[in-house]
């Protein structure tokens, strides 16, 4: 009896706890802050820039978390509004590190350049400043550095971990089938070093992106391009005095002195308080729900890797197709902007999604906007587009296919294990965890990879209006920057998500319209009660233990979703750090 009472009490307390969380979440979203005069809009270390609402899943049980997610579209709207808002006198960038991708940083930087045309100031302050934070902050009228700080300005690099020797040492076999000499997603399991083809594509890609970013920093800081290269190669930014000498920063100050500098700029008296407002609060002060308007532009987000089945993060085909059908059936939606920020994934799931998008396209125009990644399966699902916008730094293309199957025969034999099968047909036991793939299995998988590649190229030829030979020449699994993708015809225009929305509205002749996001952010209730299976929980625990980069390698060998069939996936993850 006592146990039953205890259980009832625990259940009641837990229910009350959940109600408190949901209520607090609901009220926090409804509050509209009052913006005072002489306010400085501030980007601080608490702000995370995210590309889509599906990334905005906060841990409701982590009360100590101070991180605030801001959608890139909202961020840009805030800067645009602040330009003409009399209460906002300037923008202060106060972050040593920023979680944002190449394209997001570019969009914010361009918005800040436009903001400066208003005559209002943009200042930046840093302590130990990461390269992405400095890339953004270098747009400021003045860059102020802490006297004991430094700027981690060093250029770009990609380091690929090769595992063939490791796999051989421990008796792990990996059967790889691929199409495309540049399709290097599986190269670390096939080689002991980087192939000339992979080195060529990575070198071209890095230099394309860095040349754009370096030019922007050098121009903003008024540094000669040749001199800027010397500054970066010599790591002068690490030393505060050298940062001043070589024009990376303007002055060395403590944070309180920086705040006083802003107060002086605003003509505030010593007793007056400096008023700052975060982007999150500023956005809440003016944001309105425009989803009730009769005419809507739907922004459909495909953010993350592409998988079969159901899931809440990344792009799961079953869930995603439901979102496509919602848009198809909603008469208020007149046009669709399809925002892709994906390195690809399952070929089958990508094909399912593309088919449903083609059905949607019969009723409503689809304008595609690329984020940081639109590669392999991420590029494949863009082939329903009426028009494709890419950003200069978008990793684009990777038109290639592969299949990868691990097996553990040597490892098993070394430990006294063996597996023997009884079959009815030649390939009944086509794949064995111990013995690997049968010769017949390898043959049919090779045909499947080749067929999938041809299907991939077919859709690209249809959309890009080019021959198979033309696409095959620039395909082969190669990844391009958005700038080069435009040059070779893989995209139509270089532009932002907002450019794509504006074009979509023009295409359907809308002057007044609302913008609705799909999929929507999960409510607090949905976040708590969503169905998380044991595999997902285990994956999170392992990822926390071994780190993100090591987990990606581990996942390629162990994740069954990555072994369901032929894959269209980008070979690497490029980060600006």
The residues annotated as belonging to the active site are 183, 376
Query: Which string of DSSP letters, residue by residue, matches 211-228?
Result: HHHHHHHHHHTT--HHHH
Q: How far apart are CA 396 and CA 370, in angstroms?
A: 8
Q: Which residues contact 338 (CB under 8 A, 6 or more apart)?
A: 300, 302, 357, 366, 367, 368, 369, 381, 382, 384, 385
Angle, helices 497-507/72-84, rounded to nearest 10 degrees = 80
Cα dihedral: 425, 427, 432, 434 (round 10) = 90
The torsion angles phi and psi of 71, rounded to 5 degrees, stand at: -70, 135
Q: How far apart are CA 64 and CA 56, in angstroms?
A: 17
- Structural tokens at position 315: 């792009």
- Structural tokens at position 231: 């500054």
> Cα–Cα distances in Å, from 175 out to 401, 415, 432?
14, 21, 12
Angle, helices 548-558/534-546, rounded to nearest 10 degrees = 140
In DSSP terms, 432 is beta-bridged to: 436
CA 217, 222, 225, 227 torsion-angle sign: negative
> Cα–Cα distances in Å, from 333 out to 297, 318, 359?
6, 21, 15
Query: Which string of DSSP letters, residue by residue, matches 265-307?
Result: HTT--TTSPPEEEEHHHHHHHH----TTSSSEEEEEEEES-EE
> Cα–Cα distances in Å, from 205 out to 160, 237, 343, 517?
15, 25, 15, 31
Contact 97, 132 (CB under 8 A): yes
Contact 265, 121 (CB under 8 A): yes
Helix (H) or strand (E) holding 486: helix 482-487
Surface-to-core class of residue 178, CB atoms within 10 Å of its CB (0-12 exposed, 13-18 middle, 19+ buried): buried
Q: How far apart are CA 387 and CA 365, in angstroms?
A: 9
For residue 50, is the peptide bond before it cis, meaning its omega torsion is within 30 degrees of 0? no
Cα–Cα nearest to 131, from 96, 157, 104, 107: 96
Q: How far apart are CA 513 and CA 401, in angstroms?
A: 40
Show the CA angle centred on residue 24, arms to residues 23 and 27, nearest 5°: 85
Cα dihedral: 536, 541, 543, 545 (round 10) = -170
Cα–Cα nearest to 153, from 92, 220, 213: 213
Q: Token pair 């071994």 is at which residue?
A: 546
């Amino acid at each position: 009896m006592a146990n039953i009472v205890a259980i009832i009490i625990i259940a009641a307390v837990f229910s009350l706890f959940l109600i408190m969380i949901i209520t607090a979440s609901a009220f926090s979203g409804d509050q509209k802050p009052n913006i005072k005069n002489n306010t400085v809009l501030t980007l601080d270390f608490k702000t995370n820039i995210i590309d889509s609402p599906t990334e905005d899943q906060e841990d409701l049980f982590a009360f100590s978390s101070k991180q605030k997610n801001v959608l890139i579209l909202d961020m840009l709207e805030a800067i645009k509004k602040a330009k003409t808002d009399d209460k906002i006198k300037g923008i202060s960038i106060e972050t040593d590190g920023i979680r944002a991708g190449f394209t997001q940083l570019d969009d914010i930087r361009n918005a800040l350049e436009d903001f400066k045309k208003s005559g209002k100031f943009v200042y930046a302050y840093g302590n130990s400043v990461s390269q992405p934070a400095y890339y953004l902050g270098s747009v400021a009228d003045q860059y102020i550095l802490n006297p004991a700080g430094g700027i981690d300005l060093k250029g770009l690099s990609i380091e690929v971990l090769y595992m063939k020797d490791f796999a051989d040492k421990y008796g792990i076999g990996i059967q790889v089938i691929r199409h495309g000499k540049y399709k290097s997603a599986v190269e670390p399991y096939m080689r002991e070093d980087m192939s000339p083809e992979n080195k060529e594509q990575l070198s071209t890609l890095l230099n394309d992106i860095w040349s754009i970013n370096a030019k922007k920093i050098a121009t903003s800081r008024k540094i000669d391009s040749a001199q800027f290269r010397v500054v970066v190669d010599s790591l002068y930014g690490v030393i505060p005095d050298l940062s001043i000498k070589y024009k990376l920063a303007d002055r060395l100050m403590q944070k309180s002195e920086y705040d006083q500098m802003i107060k002086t700029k605003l003509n505030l008296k010593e007793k007056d308080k400096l008023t700052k407002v975060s982007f999150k609060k500023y956005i809440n002060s003016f944001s309105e729900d425009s989803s009730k308007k009769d005419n809507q532009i739907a922004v459909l987000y495909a953010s993350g890797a592409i998988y079969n089945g159901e899931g809440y993060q990344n792009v799961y085909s079953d869930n995603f197709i439901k979102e496509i059908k919602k848009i198809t059936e909603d008469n208020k939606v007149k046009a669709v902007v399809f925002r892709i920020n994906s390195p690809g994934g399952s070929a089958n799931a990508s094909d399912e999604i593309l088919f449903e998008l083609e059905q949607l396209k019969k009723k409503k125009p689809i304008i595609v906007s690329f984020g940081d990644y639109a590669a392999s399966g991420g590029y494949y699902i863009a082939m329903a587009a009426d028009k494709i916008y890419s950003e200069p730094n978008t990793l684009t293309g990777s038109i290639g296919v592969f299949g990868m199957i691990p097996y553990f025969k040597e490892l098993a034999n070394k430990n006294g294990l063996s597996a023997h099968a009884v079959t009815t047909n030649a390939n009944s036991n086509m794949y064995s965890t111990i013995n690997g793939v049968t010769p017949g299995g390898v043959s049919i998988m090779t045909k499947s990879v080749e067929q999938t590649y041809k299907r991939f190229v077919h859709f690209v030829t249809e959309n890009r209006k080019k021959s198979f030979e033309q696409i095959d020449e620039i395909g082969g699994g190669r990844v391009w920057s958005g700038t080069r993708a435009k040059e070779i015809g893989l995209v139509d225009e270089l532009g932002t998500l907002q450019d794509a929305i504006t074009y979509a509205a023009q295409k359907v002749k809308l002057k007044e319209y609302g913008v609705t996001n799909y999929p929507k952010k999960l409510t607090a209730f949905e976040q708590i009660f969503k169905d998380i299976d044991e595999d997902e929980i285990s994956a999170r625990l392992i990822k926390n233990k071994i780190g993100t980069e090591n987990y990606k390698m581990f996942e390629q060998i162990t994740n069954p979703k990555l072994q369901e069939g032929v894959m269209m996936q980008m070979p690497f993850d490029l980060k600006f750090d």
